[in-house]
Amino acid sequence: MKVNRQGKLRLQKWFTSMSDREKKKIIRDMTTMVLARQARSCNFLQWKDLKIIYKRYASLYFCLAVESQENELLALEIIHRYVELLDKYFGNVCELDIIFNFEKAYFILDEFLMGGEIQETSKQIVNRSIEASDMLQELGGYAAGCPSLSPPRSL
Amino acid sequence: MPAPIRLRELIRTIRTARTQAEEREMIQKECAAIRSSFREEDNTYRCRNVAKLLYMHMLGYPAHFGQLECLKLIASQKFTDKRIGYLGAMLLLDERQDVHLLMTNCIKNDLNHSTQYVQGLALCTLGCMGSSEMCRDLAGEVEKLLKTSNSYLRKKVTLCAVHVIRKVPELMEMFLPATKNLLSEKNHGVLHTSVVLLTEMCERSPDMLAHFRKLVPQLVRILKNLIMSGYSPEHDVSGISDPFLQVRILRLLRILGKGDDDSSEAMNDILAQVATNTETSKNVGNAILYETVLTIMDIKSESGLRVLAINILGRFLLNNDKNIRYVALTSLLKTVQTDHNAVQRHRSTIVDCLKDLDVSIKRRAMELSFALVNGNNIRGMMKELLYFLDSCDPEFKADCASGVFLAAEKYAPSKRWHIDTIMRVLTTAGSYVRDDSVPNLIQLITNSVEMHAYTVQRLYKALLDDISQQPLVQVASWCIGEYGDLLVSGQCEEEEPIQVTEDEVLDVLEGLLVSNLSTPVTRGYALTAIMKLSTRFTSVNRIKKVVSIYGSSIDVELQQRAVEYNALFKKYDHMRNGFHLSLLMIINFRFFVVLSSFKMVQVCLSCLCVVPILQANDLLDLLGGNDVVPVIQNTVSTKPASAGGELLDLLGDLSLSGIPPMTAYNKNGLKIDFTFERANPNPNIAVITIHASNSTEADMTDFVFQAAVPKTFQLQLLSPSSNVVPALNQGTVTQVIRVLNPQKQQLRMRIKLTYTHKGSAVQDLAEVNNFPPQSWQ
């Protein structure tokens, strides 16, 4: 989950099924708690039976909610790795990049994590996969054997 | 019709809105346009429209009318369409939606697509949010794909398999053949996801766990290569090679080594190596060290390794980084039961953390400090903890006060010290003390016979200063009622006795009755105290007057008491002296909860028979000496111990409700585990089965388990399977507790254990606070 300093949600990815109302409540609670934290507190919070790990990068807070047996220090590394991936892709990423290209932020996340677990530990491989998918999209990406009828339209 | 506006254009427009209302207007307009575009079945711009819809959904606006459009996009041949379609599916079509299953066929086709990126999209969607039905339908496809040699796909399929297993655990067997040679991969992504898969399987099935133990040497080798290998640009994080993989392997080793001597021995060396060679200057190195420590503590490691682990945690405690200190405190809390002495060495550092500014750290430090208190360090620790109590935030005070009382009860070096400590808590944090502490303290004071004069004097002086803290006032009133005669006779030995007259004492008590600060409960205590003094003081007339005034009080409780006390004066004057002492103790404890509506006169008469038989202390023992709620024991002692025990054991082994069992107590070789069930039909009743086991070499005989809970709960204790806990874990004693929790409050319990071990009687008290939330929610 990525939230900016005014509490606006920029990205949310759920790995367990919940009703919309529950999701909204969780986001609201988490956002309030994280934004209320003082500058030099530790990056971990306990909320019900979940641990929340958050880190602030410029104007965005990146939050992970995990089960109790997860390694918090590694979770910080996971957040950092995701930010690095975004940075490499967008070149000095800032909040506006993520706002205007939110779908790309999701695609990158989907190459890095799946079902709540890391799927690829190499930065280069993740980046290459995204670039290749983008290329496929640019070329009009039809299934093999299907001729391209019209030039690709951008979103 | 003009082409729908572009996504980025829309985003830009929406961001110019200055008010929420303006934004909502723009969104509604655009939604209308999108809806009509969907109605026209416009293939060309569907993708763009859905993307815009997803943006608006992220802002919090409803987007359900786009669900079917996502399905159409997924079915399209264009890659762009599929990409947005699957993204939309993951955001809008989770398993609670009716149309979720309609995706299944598309996903199935795309799993077999010729382009790996399309396959990737399908795998990702299935692996993140596929429902159980979908997983069941597609498990076969996933299993087939596991055989691929394409590493890009392999890692995704593996995690997809993990998700399938999580959703449909019965299908786990299906993936077993594919796990052959899982670890002979070179590709880190595939290796990482393989380790995740193995971990998932081992966690879920003891058979799998046994089966995969043979992989320990291979895992050790992989980990060794990671540490020893030179710089690898692809996986390097601050000089460490693939920390994510290292941590995952360490976690799997932990699961494989737990409880198994051979495996644990095989990993000893590598764990020592990681523990000593990892760079600690950056967070990433500490993350690995942390995981290593957790692994060392969980497996059957040799003692040298365990000490190394605890020392690492000790070093963490001195680290400047708050996160690392927090993590250290959490881990030490987990290990303090098993490696108590090793953790004791770091006691002073832990106590220093009480002064930390960070709330999370303070809480952990407090919990750990209480766990470390013992007979040797009680004086020093209590000084620190009382200082903490004075200065900490209100959210901690209640827990801290309870902890102090418990520790003081267990380890008080002298009665005087104990009373002083209690006084200190009552005067500094008196309003945060829990309600159930008051009866406990009263019992404690009763038992310290030689301190009565000192206690009542100190409490009286405290009352003169401040009558706002209710628990303090209640305990003080009770004491004055009991020992007022000692107070006025100036008999204190411990300190300078004060001069106070009967009238002054009555003034104070009457002051409590009229004060706005006193709660109804406090007033009850005060009135009862005044009444009791009628047998100790000479100014009976004054007391009679006060009591009769309150006979017409608005407060029903007070009125009832006053009326009944009046009756005592009138009808039973000759008896007043005889049984007041014990009787009024009972009334105060509301032992006869059921009888509260009865007139006290009747109670007096019935008690007349009861009181001569039982001494005050026996009564309190019947209560378990603890809380206000009576514990109704089913003493059906004729039931043969073994049969009952087996039945209860059988029930105890099934965790029917899925609530995880917990260890409630583990000290001096006696371990008590709780397992949980929900009683049908009443979901407010939690059924807890305790399993007591004894790892020492001598039996524990005459074993009695008692429990007490706070006022809002009710407790029923069924008879135990036996009262002998056999040595060396040869068997367990089980007992069933039923807890009624109509207000769904957080479950807490105080337990008292008594048994005979190697000829001497042992008694212990403990608080159980670590109930899993599912047991009381």
φ/ψ of residue A18, rounded to 5:
-145, 160
- Mean pLDDT check: name the lowest of B269-283, B380-394, B624-638: B624-638
The Cβ of residue B147 has, within 10 Å, a number of other Cβ atoms equal to 10
Q: Which residue has the higher pLDDT, B267 or B652?
A: B267
Asked if B690 and B673 count as a contact pair (C-beta separation under 8 A), the reply is yes
The vertex-B669 CA angle with B663 and B670, nearest 5°, equals: 50
- Distance from chain centroid for Cα B118: 45
Q: Which residues of A25-57 are buried (b: 16+ CB within 10 A; e: fewer)?
A: ebbeebbeebeebeeebbbbbeeeeebbbbbbb
Question: How confident is the model over B16-49, as pLDDT tens digits?
Answer: 999 999 999 999 999 999 999 999 888 888 999 9
Instruction: Give yes or no for B235 touching A (CB within 8 A).
Output: yes
For B365, the token pair is 């430090």
State the Cα–Cα distance between residues B434 and B445, nearest whole angstrom: 17
Q: Report whether B133 contacts B101 (CB < 8 A).
A: yes
Closest partner residue to B95 (CB to CB) among A12, A17, A49 is A17
Look up the ipTM and state it. Answer: 0.89
Q: Given CB atoms, is A47 within the 8 Å cutoff of chain B?
A: no
The alpha-carbon gap from A100 to the nearest alpha carbon of chain B, in Å, equals 6
Q: Is beta strand A50-57 parallel, antiparallel or unpaired with respect to A44-47?
A: antiparallel
Is some CB atom of chain A closer than 8 A to the CB atom of B253?
no
pLDDT at B574: 59
At residue B341, φ and ψ (nearest 5 deg) are -65, -40
Cβ atoms B707, B715 nearer than 8 A = yes
In whole angstroms, what is the distance from residue B723 CA to residue B701 CA?
A: 6
Answer whether residue B613 shows pLDDT above 50. no
| In the predicted structure, residue B416 carries a pLDDT above the cut 60 | yes
Section B567-584 average pLDDT: 58
Predicted pLDDT at B188: 92
Distance from CA of B487 to the nearest CA of A (A): 49
- Name which of A83, A110, A137, A142 to mutate to probe chain B: the one with the most chain B Cβ atoms within 10 A of its Cβ: A110
Tell me, what's the pLDDT at B342? 84
Label residue B457 exposed, middle or buried (CB < 10 Å: 0-12, 13-18, 19+): buried
User: Nearest C-alpha of chain B: how many angstroms from A6?
Assistant: 13
CA distance B408 to chain A (A): 29
Segment B235-239 shows an average pLDDT of: 87
Residue from the list A49, A73, A100 with its beta carbon closest to the beta carbon of B11: A100
* Chain B residue closest in CA terms to A105: B87
Q: Do B115 and A143 touch (CB under 8 A)?
A: yes
The listed range with the strongest mean pLDDT (B161-175, B463-477, B498-512, B640-654) is B161-175
Cβ neighbours of A146 in B, within 8 Å: 77
Distance from CA of A37 to the nearest CA of B (A): 10
What is the helix (H) or strand (E) element at residue B272, kind and residue range? Answer: helix B261-277
Highest-confidence range of B217-226, B488-497, B656-665, by mean pLDDT?
A: B217-226
Amino acid at B514: V
Residue B321: both structure tokens together? 């980084």
Each residue of B504-553: pLDDT tens digit? Answer: 888 888 888 888 888 888 888 888 888 888 888 887 888 888 888 887 77
Distance from the Cα of B652 to chain A's closest Cα (Å) equals: 24
**Burial (CB count within 10 angstroms: exposed 0-12, middle 13-18, buried 19+), residue B514:** exposed
Asked if B310 contacts B291 with a C-beta cutoff of 8 angstroms, the reply is no
Nearest residue on chain A to B364, alpha-carbon basis: A46
Q: Do A143 and B80 touch (CB under 8 A)?
A: no
**Lowest-pLDDT choice from B110-124, B592-606, B674-688:** B592-606
> How far off is chain A from B303, nearest CA to CA, in Å?
24
Which pLDDT score is estimated for B619? 34
Q: Is B254 on the interface with A (CB under 8 A)?
A: no
CA distance B6 to chain A (A): 6
Closest residue by Cα to residue B423 from B386, B374, B395: B386
Task: Residue A12: list chain B partners with CB under 8 A.
Answer: 58
Phi-psi region of B364 (alpha: psi -120 to 50; beta: other; left: phi over 0): alpha
- How much is the average pLDDT of B607-624? 34
User: Which pLDDT belongs to residue B273?
Assistant: 92
Residue type, B87: L
Q: What mean pLDDT do residues A47-58 have?
A: 86
pLDDT number for residue B169: 93
Q: Half-sphere exposure of B560 toward its Cβ, with a 13 Å CA cutoff?
A: 12
Distance, CA of B535 to CA of B527 (rounded, Å): 14
Neighboring chain A residues of B192 at a CB cutoff of 8 Å = 118-121
pLDDT at B603 over 60: no
For residue A150, what is the nearest residue in chain B, using CA coordinates?
Answer: B44
Q: Which string of DSSP letters, residue by residue, matches B205-238? A: -HHHHHHHGGGHHHHHHHHHHHHHS---TTTEET
Say which CATH topology domain A2-143 has: Beta-Lactamase (3.30.450)
Mind telling me how many Å the CA of B752 is from chain A's nearest CA? 28
The Cα–Cα gap between A89 and A123 comes to 11
B747 pLDDT above the threshold of 90: no
Query: If contacts are CB pairs under 8 Å, which of residues 276-295 in chain B contact chain A?
Result: 283-284, 286-287, 290-291, 294
CB contact, 8 Å: B193 with chain A? yes
10 Å CB burial of residue B594 (0-12, 13-18, 19+) is: exposed
Confidence at residue B680, expressed as pLDDT on a 0 to 100 scale: 57
**pLDDT class of B184 with cuts at 50, 70, 90:** confident
Task: Give the DSSP letter string of B616-630.
Answer: HHHHHHHTTTS-SSP
Give the chain A residue nearest B131 (alpha carbons).
Answer: A17
State whether residue B361 sits within 8 Å of chain A by CB.
yes
> What six digits make up the tokens of B290?
């942390």
Would you say residue B637 has pLDDT above 70? Answer: no
pLDDT over 90 for what percent of chain B? 30
**Whether B126 contacts B134, CB under 8 Å:** yes
Q: Is the pLDDT of residue B472 over 50?
A: yes
Contacts of A142 in chain B (CB under 8 A): 77-79
Nearest CA in chain B to A148: B78
Contact list in B for residue A46 (CB cut-off 8 A) is 360
pLDDT over 60 at B691, yes or no: yes
What are B671's two structure tokens?
Answer: 């371990």
**B342 part of contact set with chain A, CB < 8 Å:** no
Name all contacts of B371-379 with Cβ < 8 Å and 24+ positions apart. Answer: B371/B333, B371/B336, B371/B337, B372/B336, B372/B340, B372/B343, B372/B344, B372/B347, B373/B407, B373/B410, B373/B411, B374/B344, B374/B411, B375/B411, B375/B413, B377/B344, B377/B347, B378/B407, B378/B408, B378/B411, B378/B412, B378/B413, B379/B413, B379/B417
* Cβ contact A14–B245 (<8 Å): no
For residue B247, give the nearest of A71, A81, A144 by CB distance: A71
Q: Report the first-to-last Cα separation within chain B, whole angstroms.
A: 56
Q: Residue B625: what pLDDT?
A: 34
Structural domains present in chain B: 435-580 (no CATH), 662-775 (2.60.40.1230)
Please give, rounded to a whole number of angstroms, the shortest distance from the CA of A64 to a CA of chain B.
15
CB contact under 8 A, A129 and B152: yes
Q: Does B298 touch chain A (CB under 8 A)?
A: no
Q: Please give the Cα distance from B727 to A129 (Å, whole number).
A: 60
The pLDDT tens digits of the residues spanning B112-134 come to 999 999 999 999 999 998 999 99
d(CA A66, CA A64): 6
In this prediction, residue B645 has a pLDDT band, given cuts at 50, 70 and 90, of very low
The pTM of this model reads: 0.69
**What's the pLDDT band for B104 if we cut at 50, 70, 90?**
very high
Which tokens is B552 given?
């017409």
Among candidate residues B391, B381, B380, B404, the one with its CA nearest the CA of residue B356: B391
Model pLDDT for residues A97-150, shown as the tens digit of each residue: 989 999 999 999 999 999 889 999 999 999 999 999 999 988 875 544 344 444
A72: nearest CB among B7, B83, B327: B327
Q: Give B165 to chain A, closest Cα distance, Å.
A: 12
Q: Which of A74, A128, A135, A139 to mutate to test the interface with B (most CBs of B within 10 A)?
A: A74
Sorted by sequence, the CB contacts under 8 Å of residue A118 that are 6+ apart come out as A78, A112, B192, B193, B196, B244
pLDDT band at B424 (very low <50, low <70, confident <90, very high): confident
Could A114 and B245 be called an inter-chain contact, meaning their C-beta atoms sit closer than 8 Å? no
Are A74 and B95 in contact (CB < 8 Å)?
A: no
Residues 6+ apart with CB under 8 A from B638: none
Query: Average pLDDT, stretch B720-736?
Result: 87
Which of B595, B593, B590, B523 shows the shortest CA–CA distance to B562? B523
Of the partner residues A10, A118, A143, the one whose CB lies closest to the CB of residue B244: A118
Tell me whether residues B58 and A100 touch, CB distance under 8 A.
no
Give residue-wise pLDDT tens across range A61-109.
899 888 877 899 999 999 999 999 999 999 999 988 989 999 999 999 9
Q: The tokens 């026996």 sit on which residue? A: B618
Write the CA distances from A98 to A103, A126, B61, integer angstroms.
Answer: 8, 18, 19
Indicate whether B580 pLDDT > 50: no
Mean pLDDT, residues A43-50: 82
The answer to whether residues B480 and B472 touch, using CB atoms and an 8 Å cutoff, is no
Assess B124–A contact: CB distance below 8 Å, yes or no: yes
Distance of alpha carbon B675 from alpha carbon B254, whole angstroms: 24
Confidence of residue B414 (pLDDT cuts 50, 70, 90): confident
Work out the average pLDDT over B186-212.
Answer: 93
- Comparing A87 with B375, the larger pLDDT belongs to A87
Average pLDDT, chain B: 82
CA nearest to B158 within chain A: A119
pLDDT of B70 reads: 93
Q: What is the pLDDT of residue B320?
A: 86
Beta carbons of B48 and B4 less than 8 angstroms apart: yes
Query: How far apart are alpha carbons B66 and B38 in whole angstroms?
Result: 8
Q: Is B152 on the interface with A (CB under 8 A)?
A: yes
